[in-house]
Amino acid sequence: MKSYSLFELNEYIKRVIALNFEEAIWIKAEISQVKESRGSVYIDLIQKDENGDTVIAQASAAIWYKSFLFIKKKLGELTDSILQDGIEVNVKVKVDFHERYGMKLSIEDIDASYTMGQVEINRQKIIERLKKADLIDRNSMTYLPPVLQNIAIISSETAAGYKDFVAQLADNPYGYSFNTTLFHVAVQGRSTSSEVTAALKEIHSRDEDFDTAIIIRGGGSKIDLSGFDDYNIGHAIATNKVPIITGIGHEIDLSVADIVSHTYLKTPTAVANYIIDHNLNYETEILSLSQQINGEVANHLKLEETTLNQIEQVLRFKPVEIVKWHKNKLEHVKNDLNQSTRFMFNKLQEELKNTERLIASLRPENILKKGFSYIETNKKIISAASELKKGDEVKIVFSDGKKAATIK
Amino acid sequence: MAKKITYASAMDELRIILEKLQTEEISIDDLSTNIKRAEALLKTCKTKLRDVEKDISSLIDSK
């Protein structure tokens, strides 16, 4: 039985590979690990099954110094964004086999548009899934308190965005103080999903402690932010009891995290300004209400005072007026009384005089003076002829004396 | 006078007396009693108003 040495075997494999892979080919894979060393980049490429659970293929790849220079020149800043674990790539590789180091894929070119497209497709898929679960507007319906003071921050403590945010909050010109709690997470790469989701779940369970939770990171390319195009993060934001505000540095497109959040803003600084303005609005409203109340109270008191003063005025003059009126009336009555008494008196006096005169004129001596006379017998006045008979002795009384006479 | 008359009921009573005065429905016999009562009510109202004013300004100042 013929036996080969390991070297012979590997040399054979190398020849087979060299024969079959003369030209570089384009392959699609996911980056699982990236390491840069002395100008070259070492990458683990993997492929997962349809469910994304199990790794079904794996290979080591490298971008050698020269190719790396070429790629960097072509893609610029996107290079770093793409060369992250968890990123789907379409790369042009030369399949190499070394007798000692085994198979290595030498990456010569990267198709950035594929990655961008994958990111977008992934984003759309997640959005669709969240829409179906009716989760898009769920967090925006949570109650955002009028004062935001206890703030949970999901970020990386080394991220520039985090420092900007804390500085911006602390420098607020209104003297508002904030209690911030940092939930340190990776904001880029494979562990973004699990760490951000775990932080969101903890915040959800401590909802009494926080007025809001914010997710921030500094700017980056669309691919950099693709960590936030994640179903688990989206779900944990949407279902959170705490209102979530994002400031994850997007330029044009919104990430899944932005879409399901209560409020999304472009940058961490914008989030800080939003929180400060939110509190300022409340304070302004309170101040204006307090001014309104003061004004109303002052008006009300003034009105009552005016009424009391008017009543006092009436009380001062009205009783005097009433008394005066009664006094006048009394005076009139008195006058009337005097006048009518006098009139009555005069009238009575006049009547009295007339009567007196009449009485005087009727006195017998006065009648006798007028030439009348009367006859008497024994002091009895005779008023009828029948009372006398022949021979009676009578006296005729005149005003100046009596004369005796005999009836014939 | 009732021990703890409210501002509103003092004001109501004042208005009744005032109406009587203005329509001259009041008799001379009752005039003095009514005026004394009105003056007392007026004093109560003014004191209450002043107290409220003081309370409010101290509340505003303590902010």
Residues of chain A in contact with residue B18, where contact means CB-CB under 8 angstroms, are: 311, 314-315
Q: Is residue A99 helix, strand or coil?
A: coil
Residues ≥6 apart with Cβ < 8 Å to A261 = A139, A140, A215, A237, A244, A245, A246
Q: Is B3 domain-assigned?
A: no
Contacts of B35 in chain A (CB under 8 A): 315, 319
Q: Which amino acid is at A101?
A: Y
Residue of A nearest to B49 (CA): A301
CB A225 within 8 A of CB A164: no
The contacts of residue B49 (CB under 8 Å, 6+ apart) are: A301, A304, A305, A308, B7
Domain boundaries, chain A: 6-110, 121-281, 365-406
pLDDT in tens, chain A (408 residues): 889 999 999 999 999 999 999 899 999 999 988 999 998 999 999 999 988 789 999 999 999 999 999 999 998 888 888 898 888 999 999 999 999 989 999 999 999 999 888 888 888 999 999 999 999 999 999 999 999 999 999 999 888 789 889 999 999 999 999 999 999 998 877 788 999 999 999 999 999 999 999 999 876 666 777 788 899 999 999 999 999 999 987 666 788 999 999 999 988 999 999 999 999 999 999 999 988 988 898 899 999 999 999 989 988 888 888 888 888 988 998 998 889 889 989 999 999 999 999 888 888 788 888 888 888 888 788 888 888 888 888 999 888 888 988 988
Answer yes or no: is B52 within a domain.
yes
Q: Is residue B35 part of a domain?
A: yes
Q: In degrees rounded to 5, what are phi and psi of residue A382?
A: -90, 125
The domain tally of chain B equals 1
Chain B residue numbers with beta carbons less than 8 Å from the beta carbon of A305 are 49
In chain B, residues with a C-beta closer than 8 Å to the C-beta of A296 are none
Q: Which of A293, A302, A308, A327 to mutate to test the interface with B (most CBs of B within 10 A)?
A: A308
Select from A294, A312, A319 the Cβ nearest to the Cβ of B42. Answer: A312
> Do the chains contact at B28 and A297, CB–CB below 8 Å?
no
CATH classification code of A121-281? 3.40.50.2300
Task: Mutation target for B interface from A294, A311, A313: give the one with most B CBs within 10 A.
Answer: A311
Q: How far is CA B56 from the centre of its chain?
A: 20
Cα distances from A299 to residues A86, A293, A296, A305, B45, in angstroms, run: 68, 10, 5, 10, 17
What does the alpha-carbon distance between residue A183 and residue A321 come to, in Å, rounded to a whole number? 84
B16 occurs within a structural domain: yes
Tokens 């959800």 identify what position?
A: A204
Q: Which CATH number fits domain A6-110: 2.40.50.140, 3.30.365.10, 3.40.50.620, 3.40.350.10?
A: 2.40.50.140
User: Which residues 6+ apart lie within 8 Å of A264 measured at CB?
Assistant: A245, A246, A247, A254, A257, A258
Range of the domain at B50: 8-20+31-61
B18 touches chain A (CB under 8 A): yes
Residue to substitute from A299, A303, A314, interface B, most B β-carbons within 10 A:
A314
Residues of A in contact with B48 (CB under 8 A): none
